[in-house]
Every structure is written in C-alpha cells, then in structure tokens.
Structure 1
Amino acid sequence: MHASPSIPGTPGQPWGDAERAQWRAQQSRKRSYADEVLVRIDALREAFEVIQYGEVDWGDDGRYPLFALRSRGWDDALPAALVTGGVHGYETSGVHGALLFAARHAADYADRMNLLVAPCVSPWAYERIHRWNPQALDPNRNFVADSPCAESAALWALVRPLAARIRVHIDLHETTDTDESEFRPALAARNGKPYEPDTIPDGFYLCADSARPAPAFQQAINAAVAEVTHIAPADPDGTIIGSKVVAPGVIEYDYRALGLCAGITDAPYVTTTEVYPDSPRATPQQCNDAQAAAVRAALDFALAHP
C-alpha cells in the first residue's frame, strides 16, 4: 500500500474548498485505467455489448469514459443481474473480480439471465488508489437522485430504468488496512470529527441490506467463497467493523438510507462483498477469484429461487 500524505485541515473543523483542494493536490496517478481496465473491457467486445454510459471530466487530471458490459441479445423475458465493481477505486479486486467473472463465467448464464456489469465505477480513484472522487466525495454514500457525485450519478442514470427488472445485484468491495491508516482518519478530518480507531477484519464478509436481508442468499455466497478464501470471524464483541454480526460473515446496513450502490435497484437479492487483500492468508489472485465466486453464487441462488 502507498504511504499516507498529511491530512489537511484544522482538527474539529469540517473541510472547506481550500482543504479539499489541498487534499486533491496530494493525490497522484499510480496506475492506469486505460492499460489495466479498458484493455480488458475491449477484449470482451465479442462476448458483450460494451456500452459507454457516461464520462467524468476532471480537468488536468483527465477525462474518464465509463463503460458497462451488457449481455448480447438482452431478453426482457429473462431475469437480470447487475454486477458492480470499483465504486471505491482503490478496492482492486472489486474491479478485477468483476472482469474475471465476465471473461471466465458469464457465458455460463447465456439464455438464462441478462447480465449488466459495471466493473470500474470510479476510474479517477482507481488510478490514484483512493476511496473518494476528486471532490472528496465517497461515491458509495451518494447513490441518490440528483447525486452531487458524478460517478454515482452516471451509474444511477444507467441502472434506474432497469431497477424493477433486476433480480440480483452484487457490489464488489474490499476492506483494506489503509481503511484504518488513511481513509477513516481522512473522513473524520473532512467532517470535522474526532477519529475513533476501529479494527480491520481478517477475511471475506458480506454486508446485507437490512431492508432485504435474504439470509439464505448471503449464506450461499459465503459457502462458495469459503472454498476460495477464509471468512472473517467476528470481533470479541460480536461485530465486524462495528456492526453486529447477524450470521457468520454477515453484517447489515440500511442501503438506501446510506446512499449505497447496492441500494439502487429493487432486486430481492442484494449484497456487498468485502474481501481483505492485506491478509497474510490471501493472495491478489485469491481475492479476484473470491469475488468471481461470490458473483456466481449470487446468480446461481437467484436462478434457483425465482
């Protein structure tokens, strides 16, 4: 992981424009969206309809086209699945797990399920290995109507017309050591609040929607992932990242109240994955494989439980 720059601002005071500008000036490009993501999307053009659903223009930092993979021969008579990755750009296996699923497994669902895969929702953040967009906004707190976050607004516009048709949505994320060393302290500083340390779970877990928990669905995903990598145990107080564990490796959030990506559809089966790439017990390939296994298990369950 990269070194954390100094955090702008005055303790106890929320950031203004000057602090956001200072924070943005600290961010530098560390990898290439074009070379690592767009090349792989382009290689899938024969298998998928590649649609550009928007573009974010960040001035001197670059213009980023936003792409999704859509089943060729989309059939409205079939159920639909939405797979999203890279909502937080630094969460690498979310992006590459989505692409791995699309390349290796999507053909298994032909004529059974329509697929819509948005593998890298936040490309500026992907390149800078960061959680936020250039305006210091967290895309995964801004999936709302008239969103101020361009990346969230673009995906919202793509998905909302299909929201009632989508049967399953799986949003691929990671929990990393830098959540605690960099991003949570920056969040506290941005909001003018004291930083309260927390723990990082060692292993894979799921965040279900408290409004649509679907416990058997969550358990099926964890069972599939457990064959690839380990499931995170609860902390001694029975929580993971401060939230009560409702089943092994499962916590719940109110998706829509928080503006989370996995709340943008009416799908009965929804979940957010969390892989731990910094574990000594997991490799980057295992993390990608775990994400792909989670997607397959989610789609299989949805097909088996119409």
Structure 2
Amino acid sequence: MTNPAFYPIGTPGQAWNAADKAEWLARQKRQRSYASDVLAAVDGLRSRFDVAEYGRLEYASGSFPLFAIKSRDWNDTLPTMLVTGGVHGYETSGVHGALRFVDRHASDYVGRANLLIAPCVSPWAYEHILRWNPDAIDPNRSFRENSPAQESAALMRLVAPLRDRIAMHIDLHETTDTDESEFRPALAARDGKPFEPGVIPDGFYLVGDTENPQPEFQRAIIAAVEQVTHIAPADAKGEIIGSPVVAPGIINYPLEQLGLCPSITNAPYKTTTEVYPDSPRATPEQCNAAQVAAVRAAIDFVLEDR
C-alpha cells in the first residue's frame, strides 16, 4: 500500500526527478523585488561603508548580484564580526534586520571591530519567498566543499580568506508557520520520505554549535532579545523543533555536519537566530528589532570577553 500524497508534486515514496523539480519551479511566482527592497538599501549605505559585489547568481529567470557591506576603517588588528541574513530568502527579518543593524548601529563599532555583513545571501528566494533556490536546493544545508548551491558557494568564497580570523558569526533566520505547512512537506516529498508533522515554537530562539556551544554567549543574546520580543518555551518533551533545550530559548545543532551557514568559519562564537514572525505576540517591527538586538548583543559579548 502506498502512502497517501501529502504534497501536490511527485510520487509518494519516490524522490523527485528532474520533471518533478521543473514542475515545482514552474509553480513559483515572483512576489517582491530584491532591487527595490535590498539593493536600494545597500546603495544608501555606500557613503558610510564599503560595499563589494562578491558574486552573481545566474538563473534562467535573471541575474542577481550579491553584495557584502564592510567597515570602511578595516583594521587587521581588530576582531572581525560576520553577520549573514537571507540564507533562506523567505525569512524576511533576517534580511531587513541585517540592513537595519548596519544603518543604525554599525558605526558604533568603528575602531573596535571589523564588520562584514552579507544581508541577503539568497536573492532569488527572497523575491519568491522561498526556502530553496531554483534548483530545489536548500542553501542552508549546502555550506560544504563543492557546494551544489550557487548562493552557498559564493558566500564561502567571500569568507574563505578570513576563515581563521573571524571572531563571531551570527546568522539571522526565522521559523515560520509555512515551515510546517509548505517547506517541510516539500522537503519530505522531494526526498521521497514520509512527512511527520511537527510543532512551530512560539517565540525567539537560538541555535548554537553542538561542538562548541558557548552557553554564556548564547545566554547574553537571549537576555538582550527578551527585552524586545518573547522567547520560545520548550515543548512538552523539553525540546524546540525536536532538539533538547539546553537553556531557555537555546538549542544546539552539529553545524558543520549539517552544512549550515555558521560552519563556514572557525569563529569561536557562532549562533543562528530564529525569529517567529507569525506569532500573535510579535509584529514585523519587533522581528526586525529582535534581529538587531541579537547582533548587537553578540558583538558586544565578544568585545567584552576579549
């Protein structure tokens, strides 16, 4: 007996073939503008920061330049802080939180730290409000050698010269209701696996590195963010999205094993933020502010710990 279909593309129990992926791609619609929302904001920062094009994505639907924002007063004797957003393009506050941090707070660190910010790693996915790129690949499982994702490979090339010199990397994400209604079912269908429903946590949480968890660093970020928005509680199993809660609002993943973005450097301090924009207790403004609070707290902790 075959499993009933839980996603409109593919055959239950069989991984997608090229035709299935093409069908998935044909269903996707452009819903917002990378140029208007992101590139225009980046252009507005050029008078105060250095902006560099670190790559360009070439897809059938268009070409997308990738930009990084850097401290103008770069000093190799200072610690370097890496901020990434929009690895998953649909996670809006990751992109706009990164840009807001640069606009409102990056100047606070002049002479104290070098800042490198890649605010929108996946611009095609940003425009289509998707987790994957057009090849049905999740960039945030693709940060590894010979990456199949253009987005991941470009960011890795940008960071490679600094891999051993970055002190902190914070990667800005969201967990949304569509994770459960669309993206996890699509993932299961793509891989020919059964879909097992989960629970979306209501609130902000962090994902640290199982191999180097840095609990005090993670707790400092939670303390700052809880002044802005609520922190996700553990579920009845003491977990958040299937992982044990090691402190309020904090879980750990094996970052390198999973090919996650914070694994691209040897920074001693790494974390992934997860904002919940669909909560009735949160607004888009709070989501952006939570990302900014997390970035500031992360940088401040590292500077104070030196």
Provide the TM-score with structure 1 as the length reference: 0.97
Match in the other structure for 2:13: 12
Identity within the alignment, %: 66
Residue in 1 aligned with 2:124? 124
Matched residues in 2 for 1:263 and 1:246: separation? 20
What is the Cα deviation at residue 6 of structure 1?
Answer: 5.7
* DSSP-derived class of the 1:200 partner: coil
Alignment of 1:1-306 (within 5 A): 7-59=8-60, 61-306=61-306
Aligned to 1:40, what secondary structure does the other structure show? helix
User: What's the offset of the Cα at 1:145?
Assistant: 1.3
Mapped partners of 2:78, 2:145: distance in 1? 27
Task: For residue 24 of structure 1, give the secondary structure of its aligned residue in structure 2.
Answer: helix
Letter of the structure 2 residue corresponding to residue 239 of structure 1? E
Please, what is the CA RMSD of the aligned residues?
Answer: 0.9
* Matches of 2:238 and 2:270, distance apart in 1: 23
User: Do the aligned partners of 1:56 and 1:63 also contact (CA within 8 Å) in 2?
Assistant: yes
Distance 1:84 1:95 in 2: 8
Query: Is the 2:101–2:292 Cα contact (8 Å) retained in structure 1?
Result: yes
Q: What secondary structure does 1:288 align onto? A: helix
Q: SS of the residue aligned with 1:105?
A: helix
Displacement after TM superposition at 1:225 (Å): 0.1
Consecutive unaligned residues of structure 2, counting only runs of 5 or more, are 1-5
Q: Deviations over 1:180-235 (max 9, x none)?
A: 00000000000000000000000000000011100000000000000000000000
Distance in 1 between residues matched to 2:110 and 2:25, nearest whole Å: 43
Contact 2:73 2:110 in 1 (8 A): no
Residues in 1 aligned to 2:158 and 2:110: alpha-carbon distance in whole angstroms: 22
- 1:7/1:23 contact within 8 Å kept: no
**TM-score, normalised relative to structure 2:** 0.97
Aligned to 2:157, the other structure's residue is in SS state: helix
Residues 211 and 254, structure 1, Cα contact 8 Å, conserved in 2:
yes
Give the aligned residue type for 1:190: R
Q: Name structure 1 gaps, 5 residues minimum.
A: none
Shift of 1:46: 1.1
Give the drift of 1:161.
1.1
